[in-house]
Amino acid sequence: MSLIFDKSREGIGCSILSELDVEPVLFPEKLKRTKSLNLPQLAEVDISRHYTELSKKVHGVNDGFYPLGSCTMKYNPKINEEIAALAGFTKIHPLQPENTIQGCLEVLSKAEKYLCEITGMDNMSFQPAAGAHGEFAGLLIIKAYHKSKGDLKRTKIIVPDSAHGTNPASATMAGFEVVNIPSGDDGCVDIEKLEAAVGDDTAGFMLTNPNTVGLFEKNILKITEIVHNAGGLVYYDGANLNAIMGIARPGDMGFDVMHLNLHKTFSAPHGGGGPGSGPVGCKSFLSKFLPNPQVKEYSDKYEFSNSPDSIGMVKSFYGNFLVVVKALTYILTLGKEGIKQASENAVLNANYMKCELSKIYDMAFDDICMHEFVMTLENLKKEKGVSAMDVAKMLLDNGIHPPTMYFPMIVHEALMVEPTETESKATLDKAIEVFSDIYKKAMAASELLHEAPVKTPVRRLDEVLAARNPVLKSGDRHTD
Amino acid sequence: MGSYVPSTIDERNDMLKAVGLDNIDQLFSSIPDEVKVKKLNLPLGQSELEVRRSMENIADKNVVFKKIFRGAGAYNHYIPAIVKSVTSKEDFLTAYTPYQAEISQGLLQAIFEYQTMICELTGMDVSNASVYDGATAAAESVAMVTDKKRNKIIVSSTIHMHVLKTIKTYCEGSGVEVIVAPEKDGVTDTEALKTLLDETVAGVYMQQPNFYGIIEDAENLSELTHAAGAKFIMGCNPISLAILKTPFECGADIAVGEGQPLGMPLSFGGPYLGFMACREALMRKLPGRIVGETVDLEGKKAFVLTLQAREQHIRREKASSNICSNQALCALTASVYLSAMGHDGLIDVANQCISKTRYLANELCKIEGIRLKYADKEFFNEFVTTCSIKPNELLQKLEQKGILGGYPIDDGILWCATEMNSKDQIDELVASVKEAVKR
Amino acid sequence: MKILKDLMYTKTHEWIKMTGDKKAKIGLTDFAQDSLGSLVFVNLPEVGDEVSKDDSFGDVESVKAVSDVFSPVNGKVSAINEELLDSPEKINESAYDAWLIEVEDIEENKDLLTPEQYEKVCNEEA
């Protein structure tokens, strides 16, 4: 469909501002831009229809099942949105005097308290805007900790080869050297490899638990002990917390520092890629390193405080505050019973789907899974030439958002399925049926899968053309 | 208690049975008993009505100022109704990152349009799909220009303190040395800058308008920077770009900034929007997601996330940035805002900011004891005055009258006016200041 | 899959062609380009950079992957194939014409594979 710029017409626009009621002042010409400003001029109805049309070509959580592994695409409760839209939150300037922002500070303080209770951490900062941002802050905390002890030789961060790409990328940004260790055949941390990798140059080890193949690391206490004995700290990637809320806590497993994704586990919407919120939490011995400012609760008021040992600021102000409001609303709604129930049902849904699908498809690992599981289509690829991508694209034609594809990298032709707790048995049964139909088609007429999708607004895209000759704005042209 | 689990107890039992288990606890048998939660110390769940009351009660503890004369990195602008209407559409609000392009064309096109608008504002060739905020955009831009040979960055002392702090934090990670160039009369000291520039400096970062609201001589700074072989980075207020020379015209290699003025409420500091744009030569160093145009297998025009091999999910420890989630919905917000204002409207906002700010400055300076700290400078929507009484004392008196006055800095106050401040409101502020200073 | 007789090879799928006494051109093999798929970008070092045997001197990008390219020898980069920066597809079209870099001051190069040995490597991986 046409770009909004192509719909622009001279002589039309929205009437928004009032007339200027003071003497007009103009800048001297030498300060002014000479390049014309090509912004669209449209009537409000045209803008409204443009975006309504665009929104119809987006698959949201309410458009159908969304089992995107590692992304926790759960339902986004409506009350969260209404609360985050209250003027008492949206109209607050971030640099207002502390006596006028007691409500905002209470939100941050309560959210910190509850999320620390859920994770077993002692303090938390909401400044990081996303999971990767939280990782970066957490790794800087690890760096600051070793530096504070005068231990400057700890330059390496160990990550399993099954880790999210953000883990090694964050470690590099924080100035560490990355050591990848291969996972064991069971998809879990290979204890011997970890023991061999740690040493007096180990700054830390990053892990998500349940791990990226959806399994709980049974040896978690041994793992954290190995790293601690070597003098390193253990970082918890909170991407998969949805499996264990109210059941087990990273803090009790020996993790020292972690981040959460409030836009995954705590029901804030993903917004088409953001804004998220990636609070970084830690044990008390690391609290002084958290980003500044931190919120302190006193008997009669809340106050900001700054730690001289802090890693500093990772962002302006206090993070994506309204996302924290949504998460707090969610926690208050669920409470101690609901939080646990959410995780229980996330894991139940995943195991039910896994069990049913394993009658047809190969699973990467057979054990009881946590909130997600990984299928491997390696045999289907070999036998019928049908790839994980083909199956994913056919799901599109059935109104289902595909699982995460080709991740983790240790599983060939991987599809990673995370149903979440907010799907009914009926939805799961329907999805199982779709998966099973696709399998039958793969067996009988695999060419159909290579063709898919056919019902979507566009079909498979030429990504090579896009990358070789980037056209990144209106007016650019492919050179070939 | 509230719950968003839609299956009945019977259905849950059926599913358990299908898995071959008798009770829920068996699902968690791989978790060692030692780490299992014995007691979760959280309040009991609440009904929607109870939650609404609790949260409204918390929100009511904040003071919502109707008269705001404070900026300092977060600006009170009018947000057209269409903005919220579009950004609360469920599909935009709840979708994941558009990796599955076939069912994400609406989102991808919206981002493509956003990239185009950012390029229009900055004059640059390429924009990414957003980063977290203006401060992280600045920090990421530093990473774009530094390398082994040039491992220092010069930052003007006239930039926002949070931006400076954020750059320092990021550079602590990457090992880049941050040098702060001093200021003179409220602008970057060019003589001092000259002495700091050498072949080890990767780039110079400045802010336009600067923290004091003053328009800096960006072209001159750019020339000095380029003469030393370094890259020139500008942090910009996007509203000011409607009329000011574009960063491209000033010679900048990278333009970044805080996009909050483009339709995002103050929201106690976030979510905001970091925009980043650069010249084509730096395209592959630009971090974060980028949408490109292509065709589908039937030759139909379409959009897709492109140049992905730069990113963390592919390049892992060799990626130049770890960014994954960005501020997509805020980028959409900015696009809708810019469409609603249009070319004419955005220029109007900018001119109203300049005019009202000048009017406020003139009126305030008629009061004895208040004068411009940096006279004879062009300023956009902010300026600094000195004050004959303690800034906080004055500001407290304004607060009692329901006015959020300027932001106290050192011995002065940084004032801000936008199209939101009517002449009456400005006159009321000036009268209140007059009264407060008198006693 | 093409393997030219007059080139030497590495296990990591680079080819090397001596162009002078201590000078050689280095590229990616046909087997490599075929398994990587359509290439969309190449990152090359700068002229004058040192390269070391078995160390990565650049990488090639396809849409969904990036692969390091390793130097078979120690030496100094004397030229890069700038044409590839705009047209990485040349590697897909003709891998043995699309050299990536030229290296000079090559120190003794050992452990290179003959075409026959390299063919064996490819057959094992295929």
For chain C, the C-alpha Rg in angstroms (whole number) is 13
pLDDT one-digit tens code per residue, B213-227: 999 999 999 999 999
Q: What integer is the mean pLDDT of A128-138? A: 98
Find chain B residues with C-beta within 8 A of C64's C-beta. 308-309, 314
Q: What integer is the mean pLDDT of B112-138? A: 98
Interface test with chain A among B1, B294, B338, B418, by most A beta carbons within 10 Å: B294
Residue A476 lies in a domain: no
Give, for B386, the enclosing helix (H) or strand (E): strand B382-386
Give the CA distances from residue A184 to residues A47, A82, A221, in Å, rounded to whole numbers and listed in that order.
54, 46, 17
The number of C-beta contacts closer than 8 angstroms across B and C is: 18
List of residues 6+ apart from B359 with CB closer than 8 A: A22, A23, A25, B417, B423, B426
Type of residue at A317: F
Percent residues over pLDDT 90 in chain A: 98
pLDDT one-digit tens code per residue, A262-282: 999 999 999 999 999 999 999
Residue B46 lies in a domain: no
Do A284 and A202 fall within a single domain? yes
pLDDT at B438: 83
Residue A405 lies in a domain: yes
Domain count for chain B, please give it: 2
pLDDT at B365: 96
pLDDT at B1: 74
Do B100 and B164 fall within a single domain? yes
How would residue A328 be classed by pLDDT, with cut points 50, 70 and 90? very high
Do B308 and B379 fall within a single domain? no
Do A283 and A162 fall within a single domain? yes
Residue B120 lies in a domain: yes
Average pLDDT of chain B to the nearest whole number: 96
Return the structure tokens found at B258.
């805080």
Do B188 and B247 fall within a single domain? yes
Domain count for chain A, please give it: 3
C63–A463: do the CB atoms touch at under 8 Å? yes
Other CB atoms within 10 A of residue C29 CB: 25
pLDDT at B60: 98
Please state the φ and ψ torsions of residue A259, each to the nearest 5 degrees.
Answer: -130, 160
Q: Closest approach of chain C CAs to the CA of A464, in angstroms? A: 6
Return the structure tokens found at B316.
């892992």
A464–C41: do the CB atoms touch at under 8 Å? no
- DSSP category for residue B368: T
Last residue of a domain, one of B294, B309, B335: B335
Do A434 and A382 fall within a single domain? yes
pLDDT at B194: 97
Do A313 and A378 fall within a single domain? no
Residue A110 pLDDT > 60:
yes
d(CA B318, CA A173): 9
Residue A324 lies in a domain: yes
Residue B365 lies in a domain: yes
Give per-residue burial for A87-126: e unless 16+ CB within 10 Å, then b.
Answer: ebbbbbbbbbeeebbbbbbbbbbbbbbbbbbbbbbebbbb
- Assign residue A123 the CATH number of its domain: 3.40.640.10
Q: What integer is the mean pLDDT of A99-117? A: 98
List of residues 6+ apart from B315 with CB closer than 8 A: A165, A169, B309, C66
A39–B117: do the CB atoms touch at under 8 Å? yes
pLDDT at A1: 82
pLDDT at A378: 95
Which chain C residue has its CA at the smallest distance from A405's CA? C64
Do B110 and B238 fall within a single domain? yes
Residue C110 pLDDT > 80:
no
Return the structure tokens found at B139.
């920090």
Smallest CA-to-CA distance from A23 within B172, B358, B43 is with B358
How would residue A476 be classed by pLDDT, with cut points 50, 70 and 90? confident
Residue B38 lies in a domain: no
Residue B103 pLDDT > 70:
yes
What is the model's pTM?
0.96
pLDDT at C21: 86
Do A147 and A228 fall within a single domain? yes
Find chain C residues with C-beta within 8 A of A468's C-beta. 38, 40-41, 88-89
Do A85 and A198 fall within a single domain? yes
- Assign residue B370 the CATH number of its domain: 3.90.1150.10
How would residue A478 be classed by pLDDT, with cut points 50, 70 and 90? confident
Find chain C residues with C-beta within 8 A of A392's C-beta. none
pLDDT at B411: 83
Average pLDDT of chain A to the nearest whole number: 96
A468–C89: do the CB atoms touch at under 8 Å? yes
Residue A10 lies in a domain: yes
Q: What integer is the mean pLDDT of A70-75? A: 96
Do A397 and A459 fall within a single domain? yes
DSSP-H helix ranges across B263-383: 312-315, 328-365
Type of residue at B183: E
Structural domain including B264 reads 81-335
Interface test with chain C among A464, A465, A479, by most C beta carbons within 10 Å: A464
Do A133 and A268 fall within a single domain? yes
Smallest CA-to-CA distance from C22 within C76, C71, C96 is with C76
- Assign residue A455 the CATH number of its domain: 3.90.1150.10
Residue C108 pLDDT > 80:
no
Interface test with chain A among B16, B77, B94, B144, by most A beta carbons within 10 Å: B94
Last residue of a domain, one of B277, B312, B335: B335
Residue B45 lies in a domain: no
Residue B429 lies in a domain: yes
A215–B46: do the CB atoms touch at under 8 Å? no
Residue A479 pLDDT > 70:
no
Do A234 and A194 fall within a single domain? yes
Residue A472 pLDDT > 70:
yes
pLDDT at B439: 63
Residue B74 pLDDT > 70:
yes
Residue A204 β-bridge partners = A157, A233
Q: What integer is the mean pLDDT of B89-95? A: 97
pLDDT at B309: 87
Place of tokens 């602590």: B172
How would residue B315 be classed by pLDDT, with cut points 50, 70 and 90? confident
Q: What integer is the mean pLDDT of A372-382? A: 96
Cβ–Cβ < 8 Å for B334, B347: no
Task: Report strand pairing: C75-80 vs A156-160.
Answer: unpaired
Find chain B residues with C-beta within 8 A of C59's C-beta. 318
Do B222 and B108 fall within a single domain? yes
Cβ–Cβ < 8 Å for A57, B300: no
List of residues 6+ apart from B195 with CB closer than 8 A: none
For B213-273, give the DSSP string: SBPP-HHHHHHHHHHTT-EEEEEE-TTGGGTBPPHHHHT-SEEEEE-TTTT---GGG-S--
Do B152 and B265 fall within a single domain? yes
Q: What integer is the mean pLDDT of A58-74? A: 96
Residue A479 lies in a domain: no
pLDDT one-digit tens code per residue, A226-264: 999 999 999 999 999 999 999 999 999 999 999 999 999
C63–B318: do the CB atoms touch at under 8 Å? no
Do A384 and A323 fall within a single domain? no
Do A24 and A111 fall within a single domain? no
Residue A62 lies in a domain: no
3-class secondary-structure state, position B433: helix
pLDDT at A345: 98
Q: Closest approach of chain C CAs to the CA of B294, in angstroms? A: 13
Residue A88 lies in a domain: yes
- Structural domains in chain C, sorted by start: 8-125 (2.40.50.100)
Other CB atoms within 10 A of residue B389 CB: 15
Residue A477 lies in a domain: no
Do B238 and B197 fall within a single domain? yes
Do B103 and B238 fall within a single domain? yes
d(CA C96, CA A38): 47
How would residue B320 be classed by pLDDT, with cut points 50, 70 and 90? confident
pLDDT one-digit tens code per residue, A155-170: 999 999 999 999 999 9
Find chain A residues with C-beta within 8 A of B5's C-beta. 341-342, 345, 421-422
Last residue of a domain, one of A306, A333, A360: A333
- Assign residue B261 the CATH number of its domain: 3.40.640.10
Cβ–Cβ < 8 Å for A303, A259: no
Q: What integer is the mean pLDDT of C76-93? A: 94
Q: Which residues of C touch B (CB under 8 A)?
A: 40-41, 59, 61-66
pLDDT one-digit tens code per residue, B362-376: 999 999 999 999 999
d(CA A230, CA A197): 10
Last residue of a domain, one of B271, B304, B335: B335
Type of residue at B404: L
d(CA A407, CA A206): 17
Structural domain including A187 reads 79-333
Q: What integer is the mean pLDDT of C37-64? A: 92
Do A207 and A301 fall within a single domain? yes
pLDDT at C65: 86
Find chain C residues with C-beta within 8 A of B307's C-beta. 41
